[in-house]
Amino acid sequence: MNYQVTIRGRTRDITVQPTQGGGWRVSVDGGPERVLLGGPVGGAEWQLRNGDEVRTVGLAAKDGDAHLQIDGHPMLARVVDPRRDALALGAAGSEGVVITEMPGVIVRLLVAPGDHVDEGQPVIVVEAMKMENELKASADGVVSVVHVQPGEHVESGAMLLTIDAAEAG
């Protein structure tokens, strides 16, 4: 699994893969892999071994945030979830516009120009990161323009459709 994690304002790309004997192969920012062994030692504590180095790590995770305590030093890590962020931005694009923040392929259009939509209604399906994501209407209104077609590749930030809120009713 690939993750983006922000700690103290710095975002790092972290790759984690389970090993056959237990533990994980971990690489940070494309650097060398390290094999970490370990397991839970309490409700919110893990013991991790990196070669001869052993650390006890306290961990409490909620809503994409991980509150860590490593060697007595507290820190907050935020896991960046591009899929969740893209879905949120698709729904929360500027009013009347549905955008994608991830490159992908348009799988299905769920609406057409002239269709009335309600805020939060699924309007388009985009495949990104090998997953189909339903993007939702950013406002109540009438679909005025569909800027894409099924099968089309779109870049991050692409405007997918426009909803005319003035025609709602």
CATH number of 145's domain: 2.40.50.100
Q: Shortest CA distance to 137 belongs to which of 154, 117, 152?
A: 117
- The total number of structural domains in the chain stands at 2
What is the predicted pLDDT for the residue at 25? 84
Q: Is the dihedral of CA 116, 121, 125, 129 positive or negative?
A: positive
Q: Work out the average pLDDT over 48-57.
A: 80
For residue 18, give its domain range: 2-80
Give the H or E element holding residue 87: helix 82-91
SS3 51: coil
Q: Shortest CA distance to 27 belongs to which of 48, 1, 66, 47?
A: 1
Pairing label, strands 34-40, 24-28 = antiparallel
Q: Are residues 76 and 87 in the same domain?
A: no
Residue 43 binned pLDDT confidence (cut-offs 50, 70, 90): low
pLDDT at 150 over 80: yes
pLDDT at 89 over 70: no
Q: Are residues 112 and 149 in the same domain?
A: yes
Residue 90 binned pLDDT confidence (cut-offs 50, 70, 90): very low
pLDDT at 91 over 70: no
The partner residues of 161 in beta bridges, in order of sequence, read 98, 146
CB within 8 Å of 162: residues ≥ 6 apart: 96, 97, 98, 143, 144, 145, 147
Domain final residue pick, 80, 96, 113: 80
Q: Are residues 88 and 163 in the same domain?
A: yes
Q: Are residues 62 and 100 in the same domain?
A: no
Q: Are residues 23 and 98 in the same domain?
A: no
Domain final residue pick, 80, 100, 128: 80
* Number of Cα atoms under 13 Å in the Cβ half of residue 97: 10
Record the pTM. 0.46
Q: Are residues 117 and 48 in the same domain?
A: no
Q: Are residues 161 and 116 in the same domain?
A: yes
Q: Are residues 69 and 135 in the same domain?
A: no
